Amino acid sequence: MVTIGILALQGAIREHARSLEDSGANVKIVKRIEDLKDIDGLVVPGGESTTMRRLIDKYEMFKPLQDFAKTGKPVFGTCAGLILMAKEIIGQEHGHLEVMDMKVHRNGFGRQRESFEVPLSVKGLEGEEDYIGVFIRAPYIDSVGPDVEVLATFQDRIVAARQGRFLCCAFHPELTDDHRMHAYFVEMVEESKKTFA
């Protein structure tokens, strides 16, 4: 069984933990640098990206998180986590962790009152039913590099993508009872762990 860490500085930690456990993973809460040891993958949850970056800096986790991403272990960013993973952010001089070759638009779908749910067709999650995306002050991906695979779009905007061992989505998969997005990531982590064995 794989162990997946959840960066627990902000966001819906408990809901992510439940979805990962229901998908067959052990969960470890990551609040300090040493918590990054002995995990096979990492979830960077939603929240507010500038606040999360401030907390990452406060706890001196920026370089350890970048180093973790370079180890080859999978990372899954949701909503603000997607923003933190992007190489470029529209309106900002620099990205944050810069692990995915994409340009993102913060609050691209509007502010809190423009939150909504919508059925999505997500590549890799094909089934009888669409996946319900919960969008809360959501970003979207403006453009991607050649190595990034687009997994889902809404209104011609990219809302989920994968680049090798990195996965991201603009919506909140932890806020539904449909665990397919987390199960997809658990499979990525299981595949990755085989290469480390």
Which residues are catalytic, by number? 79, 172, 174
Residue 30 to residue 170: CA distance in whole angstroms: 22
- Exposure of 152 by Cβ count < 10 A (0-12 exposed, 13-18 middle, 19+ buried)? buried
Beta strands 131-135 and 116-120 are antiparallel
Residue 182 to residue 188: CA distance in whole angstroms: 10
Q: What are phi and psi of 38, to 5 degrees?
A: 65, 25
